[in-house]
Amino acid sequence: MQELTCDLLVIGAGSGGLSVAAGASQMGADVVLLEGHKMGGDCLNYGCVPSKSLLASAKVAYGQAHASAYGVADQMPVVDYAAAKDHVQDVIATIAPVDSQERFEGFGVRVIRAYGRFVDDRVVEAGEHRITARRIVIATGSSPLVPPIDGLADVPYFTNETLFDLRERPEHLLIIGGGPIGMEMAQAHIRLGSKVTVIEGDRALGKDDPELASIVLDQLRGEGIEIAEGAQAETIASTEGGGIRVTAKDGRVFDGSHLLMAVGRKANIDKLNLEAAGVETNRAGVVVDDSLRSSNRRVYAIGDVAGGMQFTHVAGYHAGVIIRSILFGLPSKAKTNHIPWATYTAPELAQVGLTEEQAREKHGDRLEVARFDYHHNDRALAERKSKGLIKVMVVKGRPVGASVVGHQAGELVALWSMAIANNLKMSQVAGMVAPYPTISEVNKRVAGAYFSPRLFDSPMVKRVVQFVQRWLP
């Protein structure tokens, strides 16, 4: 066993772990990075990158079949599913060098390709190495949650970790789970020629604003996706023809050729032996305080394994939070009120801060909701992407949340994240100038919608204007 010592040990080479390792090493810390599987973690290999790449293929196919509105003849796309998966793998391969072992070794990081296991509060064993570190960051991410549904173990099924290896297009894809992963893969596959049924135990896209989510669900149903809500899967079995049958608790039966499980995620903590380190855990993952420090003062947890919001950009944000405290000994706390998320269906669905329902519950009569519809945006009309809506929740002149559905919603929501993070006023957003014609005008126009009643419906404003006009030379 080779003995090593370091300032900082990072366990997991996903988005958060890589950010911590690169930043700490380049600022002078002695860093060891452990990764027992693939560099880049879930996002690069099984999550964000491949899913968005497959959606891009699906978008092209859909565009061919729906071109006549632009004066171009519709053409039924000839989809080569295996070639679409080649496109996915090519994108992964293009990005992979950015997350590669060689690149991080170039930063001065010692990379060990092995899983880590705690043996005490500051020592971790990995392969043939025994590492003693002053500070340790757990960044092991999460994996697909596979619930104990009766019969599931006896049938073939996919998760996001295996779906992108599938080379033959599913004839009829059953998806259990109506969250972002399930709905994105549903739209990708319906556009690539599969029949698709989504089976959701509660409400599809249930974490988002119901009014905005319904716009997405209407579009998906219009494209031919069957979305069964309130359908809690009770049993799963193979059919005589080699297919899959899912039976819901209410008796509904769904038959298909392939099954994708997309019901959520679980933190990757099983291999870590956290008890030996005195690190407290719960069902969500590692228990951390606002500074992302665990019950062991030497150990931090970031990203999905920290038990909070499970998004790649959250892991990157967490990395910045702990770099400040680990390297410089300065107080630094993670916040969640400015963290956005997006579902990359068409139309996209995005959220930051409080939804309207949450804001009404928290702020009551102090809440004002500004709205603006995409069909008043000229660029959206020009591109025939005018199905959409933005709502901004405002308290005392400052945004506390924004919900967006429509073309480029994931891009638009970033401005509201910045506004909330910096405690900006609606007047400051209204003061920006967006180039015309762009979708980004939606943000300015919704800020204008907040002020319109104050300017155009105010008798006082009218009296002031009339008075000034009488006295102006």
Classify residue 95 by burial, with Cβ atoms within 10 Å: 0-12, 13-18, 19+.
middle
Is 184 annotated as ligand-binding?
Answer: yes
Query: Does residue 309 have a known ligand-binding role?
Result: no
Query: How far is the C-alpha of 7 from the C-alpha of 20, rounded, in Å?
Result: 12
Q: Say whether 183 counts as a known binding-site residue.
A: yes
Cα–Cα distance for residue pair 156/57, rounded to 1 Å: 26
3-state secondary structure of 353: strand
Using an 8 Å Cβ cutoff, are 377 and 445 in contact? yes
The alpha carbon dihedral of 341, 345, 346, 347 has a sign of negative
Token representation of residue 344: 């990359």
DSSP 78-133: ---HHHHHHHHHHHHHHHGGGG-HHHHHHTT-EEE-S--EESSSSEEEETTEEEEE
The answer to whether 181 is annotated as binding is: yes
Dihedral angle at the C-alpha atoms of 155, 160, 162, 163, nearest 10 degrees?
80
Q: Find out whether 304 is annotated in a ligand binding site.
A: yes
Structure tokens at 224: 């031919």
The answer to the question of whether 142 is labelled as a binding residue is: yes
Instruction: Give the span between the Cα atoms of 456 and 70, in whole angstroms.
Output: 38
261 annotated ligand-binding residue:
no
Strand ranges in 268-347 using DSSP code E only, listed in sequence order: 281-282, 285-286, 299-301, 340-343
Q: Is 136 annotated as a binding residue?
A: no
Is 200 marked within a binding site? Answer: yes
- 444 labeled part of a ligand binding site: no
205: tokens are 């896209």
Neighbours of 368 (CB within 10 A): 16
What are the DSSP E strand ranges found in 142-212? 142-144, 172-176, 195-199
Instruction: Report whether 116 belongs to an annotated binding site.
Output: yes
28 marked among binding-site residues: no
Buried b or exposed e, range 401-430, using 16+ CB within 10 angstroms: bbbbbbbbbbebbebbbebbeeebebeebb
Cβ neighbours of 253 (radius 10 Å): 9
Total number of residues shown for the chain? 473
How far is residue 151's CA from residue 238's CA, in Å, rounded to a whole number?
A: 9
**Is 127 labeled as ligand-binding?**
no
Report whether 51 belongs to an annotated binding site: no
> What sign has the CA pseudo-torsion 82, 87, 91, 96?
positive
177 known member of a binding site: yes
Per the annotation, where are the binding residues for NAD(+)?
A: 177-184, 200, 264
Specify binding-site residues: 52, 116, 140-142, 177-184, 200, 264, 304
Annotated binding site for FAD: 52, 116, 140-142, 304
